[in-house]
Structure 1
Amino acid sequence: MTDDITGRQVTDAWRRIEGWLREHAPATYAALGPGADDEQINAVENALGFAVPVELRMLWGLVSGGNVKGRGPWRDNNNLISLDEVIGHYRLKLKIQADLDENHEKFARLEEDRAIAWQRLWIPVFSTRVYDTSHGAFLDAGNGLMWKWTRYAYIPPTDKDPQDSIVTYMEDLADALEYPALAEDTPGLVEGALVWRSCVRAGEDWRASLG
């Protein structure tokens, strides 16, 4: 029952986001791609070696793409990483962690000085750029919460910048689009594509959305 509720929450939030894009950001809406099927998602699970949380399965099953001129439709114009890239990036980050662990052991450093770049249950979800996964956000399959990664290191969350679940992330995004006056960052448009105010490039003709 809990999985059913979570799945419905993800779907409902996405329908709100999708509806807003259809009405206000036609270029971004037109760039949205179809979701993955169960076979494709199962292949990711097999590659990772553990089950993907239901909320991420639902998200992957609903949508792909949505990028216009290098900007995705998510907060901060982040990009939803493709399933092939999820596997490749996951393996790359585990390799980086293995190298860090080897270096740690080689120099017999203290345990509290161990560098963390990645953990086995972290699943890459969003990247800050379409063609660059050096920074982004992952979902911890252990606790169901998302956080950020950087190129080589993990920076723990703080009370001032709390973690989101997939559900809260999507519901907050839908709220920000529908009620921009209450949002921390303002959604707007550049040539019919969703662009957040913080992501506007020099010289662009950006206008705020009325929600």
Structure 2
Amino acid sequence: MYPLPLVKRVKLFWSSLKGWISENFPEALRTLSKGASEAQIRSAEDDLGFKLPMPTKLLYRFCNGQLPFSRNHFEDVRMAPLGIIGGYVFYDHSVNVHLSSLEQMVEETKEFNLDLEEQGLPIGPNLALVASSWYHPKTFILNCSSGDLYVGTANLSAGEMMPCVPKSLIKPTDSDMPQDGLLLWLEEHLRRLQNGMIKIRPLKTSRYICLYPEASPLCSSAVTNGVKVRASAVFAPEHPYGGHPGTYLYSYSIRLSVPEACMLGGVYFSSCQLHSRHWIIRCKDTVVSDVNGEGVIGKVCWNQKGKLISAS
């Protein structure tokens, strides 16, 4: 039923991801469901009214996504930051994306289509919601006809979404090695976890997969007088930035640390205080932000040897 090379590929993906989670993020391992049966997949397809792409079916055969919301508020609060897709936090905007189970996919897809119908908007062909955030809404949608994967914008209620994977990489079911947007996207996510591009970071009393890149070329780094500064950004199209159509938000994260010691005037210090900041953010040759002011407004930040300060 499934091509053997594709079965081996999906099996390797899940065994590698579960191995990484077990070693680095064990609290999230318990949120992964066992694989879905063919009967469960057919039932989901019947409820949706269309077939899922072959690679997506295989992904669910090995693991039926993550556990959905329960009726236990405290359990939901505990599980909210444990999305295997990860997320980010800036100001009052929190995102943490979970891979949906088949049951959750069907339920949320029907709700999405109903919302569009009530607004008199055309429903896209064979769209399924495959992943979503438990905090502020961020939704990933798979076109089950073409295999394209999209992320919803702040205007998703009007059907606006953006592609996540280059169309040239997607191969249809009748190819030697079919691959849809969801499989390619998850494999790239795993690659970033394995090579340390993204890492586990603390979040209040919990931990989460932080999507701010921490390695080159997606992260800039410089050391001055022993103080190391790293800067990176995430794209947050779901944020209602300014409310202007076609305007989308990037959030940047600045992380400061003193790996060894701070040196000033030939004297070494084990700690230093952040007094002021000045950084320039460019898009190609255009300056989009020039920040010059107090260190961190409302906070007194001390950098100590081996410790990290993060601002976003």
Q: What TM-score does the superposition give when structure 1 sets the normalisation length?
A: 0.71
Contact 2:141 2:152 in 1 (8 A): yes
Conserved 8 A contact 1:121-1:141:
yes
- Count matched residues: 180
RMSD: 3.1
Cα distance change, pair 50–197 in 1 and its aligned pair in 2 (3 A): closer
Shift of 1:140: 0.6
What SS does structure 2 have at the residue aligned with 1:188?
strand
Determine the C-alpha separation between the residues in 2 that align with 1:187 and 1:10: 23
1:74 aligns with 2:85: yes
Distance verdict in 2 for CA 1:14–1:51, change over 3 Å: same
Task: Judging by fraction of residues, say which structure has more helix.
Answer: 1
Residue 169 of structure 1 corresponds to: 185
Distance 1:75 1:6 in 2: 26
> Deviation of residue 127 (structure 1)?
0.3
Partner residue, 2:111: 92
Q: Is the 8 A contact 2:85 2:209 kept in 1?
A: no
Deviation at 1:139, TM superposition (A): 0.9
CA 1:157 to 1:54, structure 2 compared with 1: closer, same or farther past 3 Å? Answer: same
Q: Which one has a larger percent strand, Structure 1 or Structure 2?
A: 2
Q: Which runs of 5+ in 1 are unaligned?
A: 102-114, 201-205
* Bigger Rg, structure 1 or 2: 2
Check 1:60–1:2 CA distance in 2 against 1; reply closer, same or farther (3 A cut).
Answer: closer
CA distance in 2, matches of 1:41, 1:193: 32
Unaligned runs of 5+ in 2: 69-77, 88-95, 167-179, 213-233, 235-252, 254-306
Residue 179 of structure 1: which of 191, 195, 200 is its match?
195
For residue 45 of structure 1, report the CA deviation from its aligned partner.
0.6
Percent identity, aligned pairs only?
18
Map of 2:145 onto structure 1: 142
Query: Residues 165 and 179 of structure 1: is their aligned pair in 2 closer, same or farther, counting only changes over 3 Å?
Result: same
- Aligned with residue 195 of structure 1, among 206, 209, 213: 209
| CA 13–4 in structure 1, closer or farther in 2 if over 3 Å, else same | same
Q: What are the superposed Cα offsets for residues 9-51 of structure 1, whole Å, 9 maximum, x if unpaired? A: 2222222111111112121123322122111111101111111
Normalized against structure 2, the TM-score is what? 0.50
Amino acid in structure 2 at the alignment position of 1:175: R
